[in-house]
């Protein structure tokens, strides 16, 4: 997940509203989860206001946010690099 490919939540909302998001992928890394969206041929990671990547510790909170706050009904999960025993991302 590259920092230069980061997008803000506001931009993500605009992309979803315009129908530009082709896919949403929840990516596990360390003990956290991040969101990548496919726009055109690129994958872009959601960033926070202060950090290059917005991380969630809880898959429940993340999926609730995607469905309830953003209205995203479907996503895939890439858990290849998820390790719940790792202390930080």
Q: Which domain holds residue 26?
A: 3-82
Choose between 88 and 12: higher pLDDT. Answer: 12
| pLDDT single digits (tens) 58-70 | 999 999 999 999 9
Residue 89 lies in a domain: no
Residue 38 lies in a domain: yes
Residue 76 lies in a domain: yes
Residue 42 lies in a domain: yes
Query: Structural domain tally of the chain?
Result: 1
Residue 63 lies in a domain: yes
- What CATH number did the domain enclosing 47 receive? 3.30.720
* CA nearest to 3, candidates 54, 52, 56: 52
Residue 87 lies in a domain: no
User: What's this model's pTM, rounded to 2 decimal places?
Assistant: 0.87
């Amino acid at each position: 997940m590259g920092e230069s490919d980061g997008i803000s939540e506001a931009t993500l909302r605009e992309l979803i509203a315009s129908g530009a998001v082709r896919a949403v992928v929840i990516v596990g890394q360390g003990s956290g989860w991040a969101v990548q969206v496919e726009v055109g041929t690129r994958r872009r990671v959601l960033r926070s206001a202060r950090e290059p990547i917005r991380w969630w510790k809880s898959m429940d909170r993340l999926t609730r946010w995607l469905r309830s706050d953003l209205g995203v009904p479907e996503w895939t999960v890439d858990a290849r690099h998820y390790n719940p025993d790792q202390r930080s991302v």
